[in-house]
């Protein structure tokens, strides 16, 4: 009778090697609750056991790595954003997200560049900078023809004539803001009317240029925050128009972020082009490009992302623009009123 084969000796099972991130770095106890730890996180409170106290060299290295990573992602993002309308949103909907700048970050970054550019390109703010530089230069130069203080004191005030070439300072202007709430007896109506009257009296004591600069700067500050409220509304319009399509609401929101990011970057480039070059052809080309390019871009983006026919996309494009601009008109009035009340 043959003997049964002896079982092969088996080696004891080895525990899987722990990675460097799984090993405790700060010691054998948690620095937060002093519980014994054997992994990357404390089993008692959940705090990480990794030592976050790094050197300045490591901090600078991480910072530069993040900067260059953002730069490389930015260039990879701007190329499809400009050359292929809707391609960036399509890539995000397919799951290609790591290589590009996140939509919300791209929207905030482009809007920041846009508002900074338009702020310093406005004639009101540019005149303030030019006047300040000129006044600083004049204060450091002595005018030999300037009358002395003694001659000024001996001059008869009755014979002093104003210089017609110098602009009148502290000139008061009458401000009248029509809110459409005059005679409104509700609490909100009375409160708004009181604030408007108070601001009208305040603006009357300001110079015309100073009042305009104050209002416009505050208008852009309010608008930059209000645009974040418009994005969900724009995405809601897209959701209603394409309610039978597969994309989720978040996909429509990504579309809204990408379209408005393109709008900000494009208008910023147009403003810079308008500052560099001068002439009638520049004004005409600027106006035409700002009117037609965003509309064509929107239509091509809808066609690519939602993949419907040309005619159906055209109909939904007009419906979207009607809802969008129909909402923006009263929204712009509210923004202007808030800017005036908070200036």
Query: What mean pLDDT is reported for the chain?
Result: 73
**Same-domain check for residues 178 and 323:** yes
Residues 106 and 49 in one domain: no
Considering the domain boundaries, does residue 76 fall inside one?
A: no
In a domain, 81, yes or no: no
Residue 77 within a domain:
no
The reply to whether 204 falls in a domain is yes
Assign 50 to helix, strand or coil.
Answer: coil
Name the pLDDT band for 34 (thresholds 50, 70, 90): confident
Q: Are 341 and 195 in contact (CB under 8 A)?
A: yes
What span, in angstroms and rounded, lies between the C-alpha atoms of 139 and 137?
A: 5
Both 193 and 275 in one domain: the answer is yes
291-311 in b/e burial notation, b at 16+ Cβ within 10 A?
A: eeebeebbbbbbbebbeeeee
Residues 32, 131 share a domain: no
| Rounded Cα gap, residues 24 and 36, in angstroms | 10
Where in the sequence is the domain holding 37, given as residue range(s)?
Answer: 22-53
Contact 207, 171 (CB under 8 A): yes
pLDDT per position as a tens digit, 105-126: 999 999 889 888 887 877 655 5
Q: Are residues 121 and 32 in the same domain?
A: no
As for how many domains the chain has, the answer is 2
Same domain, 44 and 109: no
Domain annotation covers residue 72: no
Residue 95 belongs to a domain: no
Query: Measured between alpha carbons, how far is 20 from 49 in angstroms, rounded to an integer?
Result: 11
Is position 245 within any domain? yes
Lowest mean pLDDT among 154-163, 209-218, 241-250: 154-163
Is the Cβ–Cβ distance between 331 and 226 less than 8 Å?
yes
**302 with 214, same domain?**
yes
Identify whether residues 31 and 131 lie together within a single domain. Answer: no
In terms of domains, do 220 and 122 share one? yes
């Amino acid at each position: 009778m043959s003997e049964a084969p002896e079982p092969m000796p088996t080696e004891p099972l080895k525990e899987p090697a722990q990675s460097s991130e799984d090993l405790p770095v700060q010691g054998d106890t948690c620095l937060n609750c002093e519980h014994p730890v054997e992994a990357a996180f404390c089993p008692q409170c959940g705090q990480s056991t990794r030592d976050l106290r790094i050197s300045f060299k490591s901090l600078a290295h991480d910072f530069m790595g993040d900067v260059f990573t953002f730069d490389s992602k930015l260039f990879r993002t701007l190329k499809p954003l400009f050359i292929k309308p809707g391609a960036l949103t399509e890539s995000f909907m397919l799951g290609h997200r790591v290589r590009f700048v996140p939509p919300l970050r791209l929207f905030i970054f482009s809007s920041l560049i846009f508002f900074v550019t338009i702020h310093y390109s406005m004639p009101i703010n540019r005149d303030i900078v030019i006047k300040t530089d000129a006044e600083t230069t004049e204060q450091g130069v002595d005018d030999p023809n300037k009358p002395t203080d003694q001659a000024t004191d001996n001059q008869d005030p009755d014979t002093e004539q104003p210089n017609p070439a110098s602009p009148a300072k502290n000139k008061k202007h009458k401000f009248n803001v029509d809110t459409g709430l005059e005679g409104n007896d509700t609490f909100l109506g009375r409160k708004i009317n009181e604030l408007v009257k108070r601001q009208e009296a305040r603006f009357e004591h300001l110079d015309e240029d100073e009042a305009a600069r104050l209002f416009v700067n505050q208008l852009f500050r309010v608008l930059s925050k209000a645009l974040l409220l418009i994005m969900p509304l724009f995405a809601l319009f897209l959701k209603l128009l394409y309610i039978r399509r597969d994309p989720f609401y978040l996909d429509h929101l990504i579309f809204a972020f990408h379209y408005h990011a393109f709008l900000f970057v494009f208008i910023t480039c147009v403003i810079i082009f308008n500052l560099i070059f001068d002439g009638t052809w520049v004004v005409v080309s600027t106006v035409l490009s700002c009117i037609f390019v965003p509309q064509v871009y929107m239509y091509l983006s809808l066609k690519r992302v939602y993949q419907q026919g040309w005619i159906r996309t055209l109909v939904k494009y007009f419906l979207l623009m009607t809802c969008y601009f129909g909402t923006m008109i009263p929204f712009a009035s509210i923004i202007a009123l808030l800017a005036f009340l908070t200036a």
